Homo-oligomer: A and B are copies of this chain.
Amino acid sequence: MKYSIGIDIGGTNTVVGLTTEEGKVVAIEKFGTKDYALLEDYLKEMKSRINLLCQRVNAPDSVLGVGIGAPNGNYYNGTIEHAPNLQFKGVVKLKEQLEQLLEQDGNKLKVTVTNDANAAAMGEMIYGRAKGVRDFIMITLGTGVGSGIVVDGKLVYGSTGFAGEVGHTIIEPEGRQCNCGRKGCLERYCSATGIVLTAIEKLHESDEPSLLRNCKEEEITSKMIFDAANSDDKLALSCFDYTAKVLARGLANAAAVTSPKVIYLFGGLSKSGDMLLKPLKEYFEQELYPVFRNTIEIELSELEEADAAVLGAAALTFE
């Protein structure tokens, strides 16, 4: 039996998993990313968790390596570069430093890094609904919007290693201010954060009664909008409609570039299911360049969110 270590680095938590080639997560170690102000301490914690998991395997050489999915992770350089949601600023030489630390314990594991959305795409391709699909796009709708692009069965890294930033395509010229410094990026509309901004805008624009008026603006979450929409709250429903419309345009533009067979939605907002998916599919067909109409499915990922990132990252070690 062959094993891999898959690591999902998030702004809040870091999950280290021991996985099998068949796609089972055998054991999980979890610790707070934010608990470590210094990169050195953070990586030492990561190393000790990896070692713990490796000890569970009888034959140490049956562990193929370590795969890591991280925000702004770079496959070519093995780095995390200028990740806005991590406390480790600038360029983090993740692969180099972690390999050195592991080697100090006699653990010669190769470390491979990619961005979190690419890891999710990898997970979907090997263990999820995208098995056998040669051309697809994975869209992660979380705090931001990430994407992994697969062309002819391979993840697209591009010349920089950072390809697949559909969340930062400009979808509304002179639109909402984005954290990236520009205006109108898709992720300012279609992430969990984006739909909250939409709700606040709509609450300001009219006096329409809404369940969302029962709490302070700054406390509104995407989950609350979902719950309100589920109770037929018109304003909340219109938030989903607007999100679907803008997302449809962004996906149609990305689809015009790579002509995928399927677009998979994953993470946070995708859990709203048909509330988002139904209007999205309708708008998407309208927004598509005619030659692509009725050629692209939009589906929800089948993978457990917790597993997909770890499994996808682990799959990097198979290459």
Contact A149/B258 with A172-B173, A249-B170, A253-B253 known, Cβ cut-off 8 Å: yes
Query: Chain B nearest CB: distance from A197 CB in Å?
Result: 17
Q: Which residues of B contact A81 (CB under 8 A)?
A: 291
**Is there contact, CB below 8 Å, between B258 and A258?**
yes
Contact A82/B182 with A151-B151, A169-B256 known, Cβ cut-off 8 Å: no
Copies of this chain present: 2
**Is there contact, CB below 8 Å, between A252 and B162?**
no
Interface residues of A (CB under 8 A from B): 72, 81-82, 134-135, 149, 151-152, 154, 156-166, 168-173, 180-182, 185, 249, 252-254, 256-261, 286-287, 289-292, 295-296
> A173 vs B252: C-alpha distance in the bound complex, in angstroms?
12
**Is there contact, CB below 8 Å, between B154 and A290?**
no
6 closest pairs, A vs B, by CB? A158-B259, A163-B259, A159-B261, A168-B289, A169-B253, A165-B256
**Is there contact, CB below 8 Å, between A149 and B182?**
no
> A162 vs B289: C-alpha distance in the bound complex, in angstroms?
11
Contact A162/B292 with A156-B151, A170-B249, A173-B172 known, Cβ cut-off 8 Å: yes
Q: Contact partner of A258 among B134, B172, B257, B289, CB < 8 A?
A: B257
> A197 vs B159: C-alpha distance in the bound complex, in angstroms?
35
> Which residue of B has the minimal Cβ distance to A252?
B170
Pull 24 A–B residue pairs with CB atoms less than 8 Å apart, ordered by A: A72-B291, A82-B290, A82-B291, A135-B163, A149-B258, A159-B259, A160-B259, A160-B292, A162-B292, A163-B257, A163-B258, A164-B257, A164-B259, A165-B292, A166-B256, A168-B256, A168-B289, A169-B252, A169-B256, A170-B252, A180-B290, A185-B289, A257-B257, A257-B258
**Is there contact, CB below 8 Å, between A181 and B290?**
yes
Query: Chain B nearest CB: distance from A83 CB in Å?
Result: 10
Apart from A135-B159, A171-B173, A182-B286: 20 A-B pairs, beta carbons within 8 A: A81-B291, A82-B291, A152-B156, A152-B157, A156-B259, A158-B258, A158-B260, A159-B261, A162-B259, A162-B291, A163-B257, A164-B257, A164-B259, A165-B256, A165-B292, A166-B256, A168-B256, A170-B287, A253-B253, A257-B257
> A154 vs B172: C-alpha distance in the bound complex, in angstroms?
31
Q: Which residues of B contact A180 (CB under 8 A)?
A: 289-290
Query: Chain B nearest CB: distance from A106 CB in Å?
Result: 36
**Is there contact, CB below 8 Å, between B253 and A291?**
no
Query: Chain B nearest CB: distance from A150 CB in Å?
Result: 11
> Which residue of B has the minimal Cβ distance to A134?
B159
> A64 vs B256: C-alpha distance in the bound complex, in angstroms?
32
Q: Which residues of B contact A168 (CB under 8 A)?
A: 256, 289
> A154 vs B158: C-alpha distance in the bound complex, in angstroms?
12
Q: Which residues of B contact A173 (CB under 8 A)?
A: 171-172, 249
